[in-house]
């Protein structure tokens, strides 16, 4: 009960301080089904391989609007523990592509995580990812009223990338935090004052069993850019028999969201989400859509439950 009250306080704080909105990195409505895409500490957290892919089309109908997608793969290392509650390890890889107007970003990262159990149900995970990101600027997709030396030609920038993440979970709750874009690489080809800047994210979730086969899942995500307003997602989901999941959400001053997921044989999952845009950029006309597919190699027991519960 104390753990639940603590997490409720954290989620309320996210709601209170989450005024304003900004999009510095790609944003996804289905982030809660793609925890590794947010946090490298989730690499290999389950005792089986996990594969996921996601595509997002944002503000459909607006020229140059963001289109984002990712592919992730995680797997455990040394799954057999030498001693009771001894640490486990995991690895993972992520490829992400994000296109906004004349800019295209490709990111590739390899992750490693260690998982340390303090009790059977309480675990601390620490992970780091490292790789590179490629930024491409296509001058042919821009026009200016007068010549601008800052966009004299097309450019491609290749820079290092790294993310640090921590994750704490119990049987029915979790808290996560990440620091993204740790290298503050410059964009010399585009502007002498332009550079990548570190960004932070916090997220948390609860699991309440309403009755047999019915679970309520409130989750929250707080995105903290280095400059500009804070963005927050607050979602509520209902899971039925670990096979169907429905939910609604709110992104402050930006969108109302609805989503659902269907599982096949408890190992394959397909999900869709819809953003009804509230901001002036797309109100009543330009909406956002996401679709994702996932596969978990965890075995299915005779009771119909997977060997990888939500916070495994």
Residues paired with 251 in a beta bridge? 233, 255
Q: Which of 1-5, 93-97, 165-169 has the lowest mean pLDDT?
A: 1-5
User: What is the rounded distance in angstroms from the CA atom of residue 31 to the CA atom of residue 253?
Assistant: 18
Contact, 74 vs 42, CB < 8 A?
yes
CB distance 195 to 184 below 8 Å: yes
Write down the pLDDT at residue 100: 86
Residue 235 pLDDT grade (very low, low, confident, very high; cuts 50, 70, 90): very high
**How confident is residue 1, by pLDDT bands cut at 50, 70 and 90?**
very low
Asked whether 30 and 269 are in contact (CB, 8 A), the reply is no
201-216, pLDDT tens digit by residue?
Answer: 999 999 998 988 899 9
Q: What is the pLDDT of residues 146-183, one digit of tens each?
A: 665 656 667 788 889 999 999 999 989 999 999 998 88
100-113 residue pLDDT tens: 888 889 999 999 99
Nearest residue to 165 (alpha-carbon basis) of 309, 36, 17: 36
How much of the chain, in percent, has pLDDT values that exceed 90? 49
**CATH fold for domain 2-296:** Porin (2.40.160)
Q: What token pair was written down for 148?
A: 């601008």
**Is residue 62 scored above 70 in pLDDT?**
yes
Percent of the chain with pLDDT over 70: 77
Q: Whose structure tokens read 């998982």?
A: 115
Q: What is the DSSP letter of 298?
A: P
Looking at the predicted structure, is the pLDDT value of residue 142 above 80?
no
pLDDT value of residue 276: 92
Q: Which of 39-43, 82-86, 231-235 is predicted least confidently?
A: 82-86
Least confident residue range of 43-47, 149-153, 198-202: 149-153
Cβ within 8 Å of residue 88, ≥6 positions away: 44, 47, 76, 77, 78, 79, 81, 114, 115
Which of 159-168, 175-184, 267-276, 283-292 has the least mean pLDDT? 283-292
Q: Give the pLDDT band of residue 254 (cuts 50, 70, 90).
A: confident
The secondary structure of residue 300, as a DSSP letter, is B
pTM for this entry? 0.83
Higher pLDDT, 197 or 98: 98
Residue 20 confidence (pLDDT) above 60 = no
The 8-class DSSP code of residue 157 comes to E
Write the CA distances from 120 to 123, 207, 273, integer angstroms.
8, 17, 34
Predicted pLDDT of residue 278: 86
Confidence class for position 9, pLDDT limits 50, 70, 90? very low
């Amino acid at each position: 009960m104390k753990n639940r009250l603590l997490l409720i306080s954290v989620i309320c704080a996210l709601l209170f301080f989450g005024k304003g909105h900004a999009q510095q990195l790609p944003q996804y409505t289905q982030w809660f089904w793609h925890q590794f895409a947010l946090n490298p500490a989730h690499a290999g957290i389950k005792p089986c391989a996990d594969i996921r892919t996601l595509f997002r089309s944002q503000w459909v109908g607006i020229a140059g609007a963001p289109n984002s997608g990712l592919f992730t793969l995680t797997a455990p290392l040394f799954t057999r523990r030498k001693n009771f509650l001894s640490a486990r390890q995991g690895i993972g890889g992520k490829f992400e592509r994000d296109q906004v107007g004349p800019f295209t970003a490709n990111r590739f990262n390899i992750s490693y995580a260690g998982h340390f159990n303090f009790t059977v149900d309480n675990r601390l995970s620490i992970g780091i990812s490292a790789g590179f990101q490629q930024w491409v600027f296509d001058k042919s997709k821009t026009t200016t009223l007068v010549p601008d030396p800052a966009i004299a030609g097309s450019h491609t920038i290749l820079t290092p990338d790294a993310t640090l993440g921590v994750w704490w979970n119990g049987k029915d709750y979790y808290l996560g935090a990440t620091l993204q874009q740790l290298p503050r690489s410059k964009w010399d080809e585009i502007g002498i004052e332009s550079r990548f800047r570190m960004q932070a994210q916090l997220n948390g979730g609860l699991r309440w069993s309403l009755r047999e086969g019915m679970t309520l899942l409130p989750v929250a995500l707080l995105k903290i850019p280095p400059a500009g307003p804070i963005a927050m997602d607050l979602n509520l989901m209902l899971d039925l028999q670990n096979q169907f999941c429905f939910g609604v959400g709110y992104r402050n001053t930006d969108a109302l969201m609805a989503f659902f997921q269907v599982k096949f044989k408890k190992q394959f999952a397909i999900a869709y989400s819809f953003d009804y845009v509230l901001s002036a950029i797309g109100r009543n006309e330009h909406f956002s859509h996401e679709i994702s597919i996932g596969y978990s190699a965890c075995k299915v027991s005779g009771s119909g439950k997977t060997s990888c519960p939500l916070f495994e």
